[in-house]
Amino acid sequence: MPAFGMGRQPKVVNDLLRVHGRSLGWAETEGKHMKVVIIGAGIIGAALARSLSTSGADVTVMSSGVGATAASFGWINASFYLDADHFRLRAAGLEAWRRLDVPLNWSGALCWEEEGAGFDQQFKSLSDLNYDVDVIDQEGFSELEPHVVAPARALRFAIEGVAEPRATAQNLLAGVRRIIGVPVRRIATTAGRVSGVETDQGVMPADRVIVAAGNGSPALLEPLGVALPMLDRPGLMMRTGAVPPMLAHVLVTPEGEVRQDSGGHIWMPTAAAHQSDASTQIDSRPDVLADQALARLEALVPGTALAWDRVMLAYRPVPQDGRPVIGPCGPEGLFTAVMHSGVTLAAITAELLAPQVLDRPLSNAQADLIAPYGPSRF
């Protein structure tokens, strides 16, 4: 398996992420003793907790169950995007992850999901955006992935990587105070600003509250007059039992996305074209879908004995227009961060939202990045 490392830097964001010679990082001297409650312990909430606690804020993370993070594929990429602004945000997300002291696998990705004219258009679109993308032929592919049936050609995204979502979230939460299994019933307000979070056991005081609870966010925000319409996007993730190392990259194939983790397990969504899957419900049994995904996987890596050991359901948190929702909303002191893919965008979300929580102005570059994603658009 590829070693953890930094890999090449995305060319597209070098200028974007530098303001007067400085990165988008923010001072660690502001926000001392500010009480911040983050609702949601997935990868978005965890990244925010790391940024805010590093700054000196008094952070408590609350979670009442397992969200989408544990069943996430974990791919950090900017090769799939909705428009130019979304691409810029995702590309910035890759750089933001490199500024965090967490172990990630910058393996790169190989993509041949599209063929013919679609393949050519994907390459041209990414090249026009100055993304780091190359075309490799069948021979070059086999050198990189000798166990995989080689396509005639593939796109190589050398700067992309993988976060093991649950482990990465736990790493980011190290040293942060957490309350687990206690649901937040509502967000308390006093004189037009947040004052805490209400549980069955009473109100916990807070100066700031961040709702990063994925699909559970609308129910917390709606009583405060904040609309956050969400799409129904259930997804099943299949994982095999551990096998010897055989896959070195994220593979984006016509049969689905595939990767192997550091423990030898191979992960694959049961739906092909997972990135663009718009299904609103799952009609087949999970075990049947896992069997079908396994059959597609075995065709990609023939001669390998594989068996799935886990299939996981998660409802991906996708706002109505498909774009992230990041920023202040409702009464003073309330913020939200809800999006898909949280794995790609967690680190940049923390860099863009944490300064606002601490009443610190954003740089021009930061403001431009986050401008399309405010909650008020709904």
Residue 58 pLDDT greater than 70, yes or no: yes
pLDDT per residue as tens digits for the range 145-184: 999 999 999 999 999 999 999 999 999 999 999 999 999 9
Inform me whether the pLDDT recorded for 64 exceeds 90: no
Residues 348-357: pLDDT tens digits? Answer: 999 999 999 9
Same domain for 150 and 222, yes or no, is: no
Residues 276, 142, single domain; the answer is yes
| CA torsion through residues 94, 95, 99, 104, sign | positive
Asked if pLDDT for residue 7 goes beyond 60, the answer is no
281, part of any domain: yes
Q: What is the CATH number of the domain that holds 57?
A: 3.50.50.60
Indicate whether 2 belongs to any domain. no
Domain span including residue 23: 12-106+161-230+319-378
pLDDT of residue 32: 60
On whether both 95 and 173 belong to a single domain, the answer is yes
Domain assignment present for residue 209? The answer is yes
Q: What DSSP state is assigned to residue 22?
A: B
Are 144 and 176 contained in the same domain? Answer: no
Same domain flag for 99 and 238: no
Preceding amide of 262 cis, omega within 30: no
Claim to verify: residue 153 and residue 118 sit in the same structural domain = yes
pLDDT score, position 153: 98
Least confident of 5-14, 63-72, 327-336: 5-14
Q: Are 67 and 173 members of one domain?
A: yes
DSSP designation for 129: T
Assess whether the previous peptide bond of 363 is cis (omega < 30° from 0).
Answer: no
At residue 280, the pLDDT reads: 83
Cα 104–Cα 108–Cα 112 angle in degrees, nearest 5: 140
Same domain? 311 vs 282: yes
Q: 12-23, pLDDT tens digit by residue?
A: 444 444 433 333
Asked if residue 6 is part of any domain, the answer here is no
Is residue 1 assigned to a domain?
no
Q: Are 157 and 108 in contact (CB under 8 A)?
A: yes
Q: What is the pLDDT of residue 375?
A: 97
Q: What is the pLDDT of residue 314?
A: 87
**For 118-137, what is the mean pLDDT?**
98
Query: What is the pLDDT at residue 212?
Result: 97
Residue 343 lies in a domain: yes
- For the cut 60, the answer to whether the pLDDT of residue 26 exceeds it is no
Number of Cβ atoms within 10 Å of the Cβ of 100: 18
**Is the residue at 54 inside a domain?**
yes
User: Which of 20-24, 209-213, 233-237 has the weakest average pLDDT?
Assistant: 20-24
Q: Which helix (H) or strand (E) holds 300?
A: helix 286-300
Q: Which residues of 162-176 are buried (b: 16+ CB within 10 A; e: fewer)?
A: bbbbbebbebbbeeb
